[in-house]
């Protein structure tokens, strides 16, 4: 019969919006509908066998096939037109389960042998197994009530048009067994669904915890920007990208001037405030593709993808000026700080450690030349360095 399950079973990538996932979910629902049609074919084979044994007339076989095609076709149209998205359950799980019982009941109405009806009833209850994977306890109870109500209508029709087929005790036992089985499946299905709900919640909490752990691994506790570990990962990624698609990326290594004196004069708490303020100042002025983090102590590193040396020099100078304009009223109005920055562009065939070393050398030249300035390191060759304007 119907093969259905909830969309909650579908993994949803965290980096995709709900709108992006709609086509994927709709495609999945169509595939499930295809599985449902296969399940109908299996039941259809049983109906054909019943006809072959002379238990049902040939027209019932055709009616079952037509009914099955119409039902599945209607659900396919609803999904294809996206009309199902208007429903609370876009997968129409409960509706597919309940309606799948109708063609089975029609066949059971034409089965004169009570044992045959009981056997076919087992097939008709298969959709409930799929419901265990999709429905809550309340939904499962509602579907079960529909099954019982439709089964009751079947017996009403038999009592009206074929009363001679009813045999009192046997039919009462069969009906009682059906109701009890439906009740038990509803309770068990609801319990399993509840466990799955708790599992989903725990998986969601676990993903959030893993994301938080990943953040803690990559982020410096004090400043809130990336740490040295993450910086090296990004540099490695940029180097790999450069080997695949030649381009350019540059590194800017900056150091807060006279930071030790500031710490000695105003205390380590003031030093922490300065580090956090500088980090926030730089981070706010970067592109989305740029990477900025604490390299160590009072040193910070900026990774500028798709940026040649001259562009990195301009960016570093803008950073230097922005930091020079910072004020620290919470410490003292007279406090001013500056940074020295060394800039180097990665070149083909160079090790990234060598690029970092050149940026570090340029930084020390900036400090030796009076601090509060930007010095760029030229590519390895005759010229060692060029001072920024």
| Cα 45–Cα 48–Cα 52 angle in degrees, nearest 5 | 135
Going edge to edge, which strands form the sheet with 249-256? 291-296, 299-305, 249-256, 339-345, 374-377, 385-387
Q: Mean per-residue pLDDT for 74-85?
A: 91
In this structure, the number of other CB atoms found within 10 A of the CB of residue 143 comes to: 25
222 vs 135, higher pLDDT? 222
Confidence tier at 133 by pLDDT (50, 70, 90): low
Kind plus residue range of the DSSP H or E element containing 187: helix 169-218
On the question of pLDDT at 7 being above 50, the answer is: no
Distances (CA, A) of 38 to 96, 148, 361, 367: 14, 25, 71, 76
Q: Is the pLDDT of residue 2 over 50?
A: no
Decide if pLDDT at 1 tops 90. Answer: no
Alpha-carbon distance of 158 to 174, in angstroms, equals 14
pLDDT band for position 164 (cuts 50, 70, 90): confident
Domains in the chain with CATH codes: 7-213 (no CATH), 228-387 (3.30.70.270)
Q: For 246-254, what is the mean pLDDT? A: 91
Q: CA 173 to CA 180: how far, in whole Å?
A: 10
Is a pLDDT exceeding 90 seen at residue 89? no
Q: Residue 219, Cβ neighbours under 10 Å: how many? A: 17
Provide the annotated active-site residues.
298
Q: What is the average pLDDT score of the chain? A: 84
Give the Cα separation of 79 and 85 in Å (integer).
8
- Can you give the pTM of this predicted structure? 0.52
Q: In the predicted model, is pLDDT for residue 6 greater than 60?
A: no
Does the structure show a pLDDT above 80 at 283?
yes
Q: Which of 33-37, 186-190, 383-387 has the highest mean pLDDT?
A: 33-37
CA distance 133 to 192: 8
pLDDT at 42 (0 to 100):
83
Model confidence at 258: pLDDT above 60: yes
Task: Return the closest-CA partner of residue 57 out of 101, 106, 102, 99.
Answer: 106
- Cα angle 172, 173, 177; round to 5: 115
CA distance linking residue 167 with residue 227, whole number of Å: 80
- Residues 134, 6: contact at Cβ < 8 Å? yes
Residue 381's pLDDT band (cuts 50, 70, 90): low
Weakest-pLDDT range from 108-112, 164-168, 288-292 = 164-168
* 92 or 13, which is more confident: 92
pLDDT tens digit string along 226-238? 999 999 999 999 9
Which range, of 80-84, 91-95, 322-326, averages the lowest pLDDT?
91-95
pLDDT confidence of residue 23: 84
């Amino acid at each position: 019969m119907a093969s259905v399950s909830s969309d909650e079973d579908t993994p949803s990538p965290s980096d995709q919006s709900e709108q992006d996932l709609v086509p994927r979910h709709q495609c999945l629902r169509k595939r499930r509908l295809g599985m449902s049609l296969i399940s109908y074919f299996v039941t259809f084979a049983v109906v054909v066998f019943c006809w072959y044994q002379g238990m049902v007339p040939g027209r019932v076989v055709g009616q079952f096939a037509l009914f099955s095609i119409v039902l599945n076709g209607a659900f396919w149209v609803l999904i294809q037109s996206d009309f199902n998205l208007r429903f609370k359950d876009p997968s129409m799980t409960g509706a597919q389960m309940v309606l799948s019982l109708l063609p089975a009941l029609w066949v059971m109405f034409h089965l004169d042998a009570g044992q045959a009806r009981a056997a076919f009833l087992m097939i008709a209850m298969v959709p409930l197994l799929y419901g265990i994977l999709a429905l809550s306890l309340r939904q499962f109870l509602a579907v079960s009530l529909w099954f019982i109500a439709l089964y009751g209508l079947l017996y009403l029709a038999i009592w009206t048009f074929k009363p001679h087929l009813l045999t009192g005790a046997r039919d009462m036992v069969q009906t009682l067994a059906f109701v009890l089985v439906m009740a038990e499946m509803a309770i068990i299905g609801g319990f399993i669904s509840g466990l799955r709900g708790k599992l989903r919640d725990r998986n969601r909490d676990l993903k959030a915890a893993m994301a938080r752990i990943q953040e803690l691994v990559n982020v410096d506790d004090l400043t809130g920007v990336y740490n040295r570990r993450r910086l090296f990962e990004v540099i490695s990624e940029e180097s790999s990208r450069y080997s695949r698609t030649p381009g350019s990326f540059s590194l800017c290594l900056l150091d807060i001037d006279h930071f030790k004196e500031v710490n000695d004069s105003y205390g380590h708490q003031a030093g922490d405030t300065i580090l956090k303020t500088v980090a926030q100042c730089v981070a706010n002025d970067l592109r989305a593709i740029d990477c900025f983090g604490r390299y160590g102590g009072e040193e910070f590193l900026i990774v500028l993808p798709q940026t040649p040396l001259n562009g990195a020099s301009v960016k570093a100078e803008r950073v230097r000026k922005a930091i020079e304009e910072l004020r620290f009223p919470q410490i003292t109005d007279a406090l001013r700080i500056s940074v020295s920055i060394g800039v180097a562009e990665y070149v083909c065939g160079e090790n990234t450690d060598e690029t970092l070393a050149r940026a570090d050398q340029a930084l020390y030249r900036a400090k030796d030349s009076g601090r509060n300035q930007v010095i760029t390191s030229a590519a390895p060759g005759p010229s060692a360095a060029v001072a920024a304007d």
